[in-house]
Each structure stands twice: as C-alpha cells, then as structure tokens.
Amino acid sequence: MSAPKTILCLASFEKGHAFLREAKRQGWTVYLLTSKSLEHAPWPRESLDDIFYIPDQDKEWKLDDALLGVSFLARRHRIDRIVALDDYDVETAAALREHLRVPGMGDTTARYFRDKLAMRVRAKEAGIPVPEFAPVINYDDLREYMRTVPGPWLLKPRFEASALGIKKIRREEDLWPALDALGDDQSYYVFERFVEGAVYHVDSIISERQVVFAIACRYGAPPMQVAHGGGIFSSRVLEYGSDDEQKLLAANATVLQAMGHVRGASHTEFIKSADGTFHFLETSARVGGANIMDLVEAASGLNLWAEWAKVETQEAAYRLPAVRRDYAGLLVSLARQEWPDLQAFDDPEVVLRIPKKYHVGLVWKSDSVARVEELQRKYIEKVQADYHASAPLPAKATE
C-alpha cells in the first residue's frame, strides 16, 4: 500500500472538527495549522497527526509566518493538499499552494471567493444579476455612478464577513465624508446599490467542478438588519421544486462555475428584489457559519464538513450519499439569561438545542414546509418576548 497522503488544514478560528475527523477516517495524515491563541482549544486531537501554531494578533496571521513555517514543515513531510477551514484562511491557503506548488485553488481563483468586488465583476460577466456597483477607485466614476444609479447605497468592505463595517449612504454628499473617514483604507471598499428584499442562501458541495449537492434557504430578517438592528437570526429551507428554489439552484451553479470552484463547500447568498429577480450578493469557499451546517444536516442528513473532507480526499471517486429532503429551520439569538431554558422549546420537531452562554440556538425539522415556517414564526415571537437581548456590533470578527 502506498504511504498515506497528507492534508494540511488551516484554521485561524476554531472550526471544522468534523472535517478533521473525516479526513483522518479516510486514512490521510492530518495536520492542523492554527493560531497560537487557540493552543488550548478543544481540537479533535485524536484525529490530528500533528498541530502547528502561527503567532496571531486576534487570530490574524502574517502571511510570511505561514509561508516560512509551512515551508519548513514541508522539508520533512510531503504535503498533498492544503485546505482553508475559515473564510479568512482562503488567501493564505492559496498563497501556500502557489508557493509549494500544491494542487487546488490558487491566488487568482481564491480572490473570487474573498473579494466582493472581484466576485461582483465576475458574476456580472457571467450574466448573473448583481446590485449595480462601483469600485471605490476613481472619484469621477463614483460621481457618474451616483448620477445613474439611484440610492440608497452601501459602502461595504471587500474582504469582511458577518455584515461588519457596512455603511448605508443615502445622499451623494454623504459619501465623501465617509470616504475621508476611511482614508487610505477606502479602496478596500465597494460601493453598491441597496436592494430592498429578502436574503437567501444556497449551501453546496462541489466535486470536480460540479455542484453535487445544493440546498436553498431563506433568512428570516436580512442578516444586515440582524447585525445592525439587534434582531433575531433565523433561516429555513425553501420548498423543494418551488420556483424560487429552482431559480436559486440554477443561479448558484452558474456562480460557482463562473468563479471556478473546484472542490469543497460553498455558501452563496442572493437578494430577491421587488420584481422577483435574484441578485447575487456573495459567494465563498467554505461552510456557512452561524450553525447553518446544523440546519442543512437536519434537512438533508449531510454534514457539510464531512462531505467536504470526502470530496478532498476521494477526488474523482467521490459519490454523494443518499440525501433526505426534509424541511428544517434555525434560530440563533443573544439571550438575557446566562443559560436560557431551552427545554421550554418542547415541540417534537426540535432536533437541536445549541448550548451556548447567553444564547438561544434551535434547529427544528419536519416533512412539512408549512410546519417549519409556522414554528419559525412561533419561536421568533417567543424568543423576542422571553429571551432576546441585543449587543453592539463588534469592530471585527469574533468567530
């Protein structure tokens, strides 16, 4: 038998335990590269052949530390695959692949999954509707843009997540002071039309450039409203075969193909405007955060992390297992209580009560889409009345 292959997993934040376990189960040698500050995190150490640390500043790494560290490691250990478990690790993983000539997504492709301006440009080229946008590069172009595209607009960081740093601009004269305040950072922003409407997400598994699994869901309140207005985060699976679901699955496949996703997971978002058009919002090469994987698992039986690990390690031999087509809902909210009583949510449909300090987190499932929707309404009301607390938005990502 040939020597086991080696996969190096990058995780500047603690996540992806199921990925690490599954990669080990597939017989690979599994290395984890993580932040020094996560040395004592409960990583699944029984599944790791070794674990390496990069000095970090609030989970941020210097690229050179990663390049030199991994190159040193590679002197003694051949590395066959490099994967980024967190969004913020996507560029680092791509730079490492380029440096060590490891196959997979390189710098150019990775950029489409991280840079909101690059993904806008690419999606538009592929004929997918996008909110009209302008780069924050040339002021004449911005003036011309505001003359032709009616506001309000959003000034949005190109490389952030979790609705961080997004500012709504209502009048032309409000843009310039906002840009002044950003100073030299302004070119790291994109300017785009605010599209009023519900926000949807499609979560996928991609194997050898094909979307082999995708599930379309609709957020309750739009994530920006939740982040900025202290609302309750919720989502639910759309009706299978419905017009919206079909349109979203088609748009998702076009987006992922256009961006050049090769293998792994993706979380992609769209906004539905008043005329029924789905506008591409963003894509990524990762598993959706905020317990979306639990929502997907409740509905389909698939663990997105584990499937991703199989796709990476099995390549062309990968086959999607049988998938259930149930409906599921998810709610996550800050709570006033340190350990809220989640047993109060005692409907038989509740399949997961997420234990987290000062949080309410629930997943429920049913074979009826109407029932899932009904429970979503009921739980939002109940959480609003008995549990909900809101906190100011952090300045940077916390998970």
Ligand X SMILES: Nc1ncnc2c1ncn2[C@@H]1O[C@H](COP(=O)(O)OP(=O)(O)O)[C@@H](O)[C@H]1O
Residues that bind ligand X (CB under 6 A): 131, 154, 160-164, 166, 192-195, 199, 222-224, 269, 271, 281-282
Torsion, Cα of 123, 307, 220, 171 (10° steps): -30
Which residues contact Mg ion (rule: CB under 5 A)?
A: 269
Minimum CB separation of residue 155 from ligand X in Å reads: 10
Q: Could you tell me where the beta strands, DSSP code E, fall in 75-160?
A: 81-84, 133-135, 153-157
Instruction: Name the residue whose CB lies closest to ligand X.
Output: 224
Sequence-distant (6+) residues with CB within 8 A of 90 are 84, 105, 110, 113, 114, 284, 285, 286
Q: Which is nearer to ligand X, 118 or 161 (CB)?
A: 161
Asked whether the beta carbons of 85 and 10 are under 8 A apart, the reply is yes
Largest interatomic CA distance in the chain: 68
Minimum CB separation of residue 329 from ligand X in Å reads: 18
Q: How many CA atoms lie within 13 A of 91 on its CB side?
A: 12
Q: Which is nearer to ligand X, 168 or 247 (CB)?
A: 168
Q: Which does 221 bind (CB under 5 to 8 A by kind): ligand X, Mg ion, none?
A: none
Cis link prior to 152 (omega < 30° from 0)? Answer: yes
* Angle, helices 304-314/17-25, rounded to nearest 10 degrees: 40
Q: Which is nearer to ligand X, 104 or 223 (CB)?
A: 223
The SS3 call for residue 263 is: coil
Q: Could you tell me where the beta strands, DSSP code E, fall in 275-338?
A: 278-282, 327-334
Minimum CB separation of residue 378 from Mg ion in Å reads: 26
Q: Which is nearer to ligand X, 29 or 283 (CB)?
A: 283
Closest residue by Cα to residue 333 from 314, 349, 302, 354 = 354
Minimum CB separation of residue 324 from ligand X in Å reads: 27
Q: Which does 222 bind (CB under 5 to 8 A by kind): ligand X, Mg ion, none?
A: ligand X
Minimum CB separation of residue 397 from ligand X in Å reads: 9
Asked whether the beta carbons of 223 and 233 are under 8 A apart, the reply is yes
Asked whether the beta carbons of 43 and 50 are under 8 A apart, the reply is no
Minimum CB separation of residue 199 from ligand X in Å reads: 5
| Alpha carbons 200 and 220: distance in angstroms, whole number | 9
- Give kind and range of the element (H or E) at residue 215: strand 210-219
Q: Which does 89 bind (CB under 5 to 8 A by kind): ligand X, Mg ion, none?
A: none
Asked whether the beta carbons of 222 and 314 are under 8 A apart, the reply is no
Minimum CB separation of residue 164 from ligand X in Å reads: 6
Q: Which is nearer to Mg ion, 269 or 297 (CB)?
A: 269
Asked whether the beta carbons of 374 and 347 are under 8 A apart, the reply is no
Q: Which is nearer to Mg ion, 81 or 201 (CB)?
A: 201
Minimum CB separation of residue 284 from Mg ion in Å reads: 8
Q: Which does 22 bind (CB under 5 to 8 A by kind): ligand X, Mg ion, none?
A: none
Minimum CB separation of residue 266 from ligand X in Å reads: 13
Q: Which is nearer to ligand X, 280 or 364 (CB)?
A: 280
**Residues pairing with 204 in the sheet:** 214, 266
What is the sign of the dihedral through the CA atoms of 106, 109, 114 and 115? positive
Q: Which is nearer to Mg ion, 16 or 223 (CB)?
A: 223
Q: Which does 131 bind (CB under 5 to 8 A by kind): ligand X, Mg ion, none?
A: ligand X
Q: Which is nearer to Mg ion, 44 or 197 (CB)?
A: 197
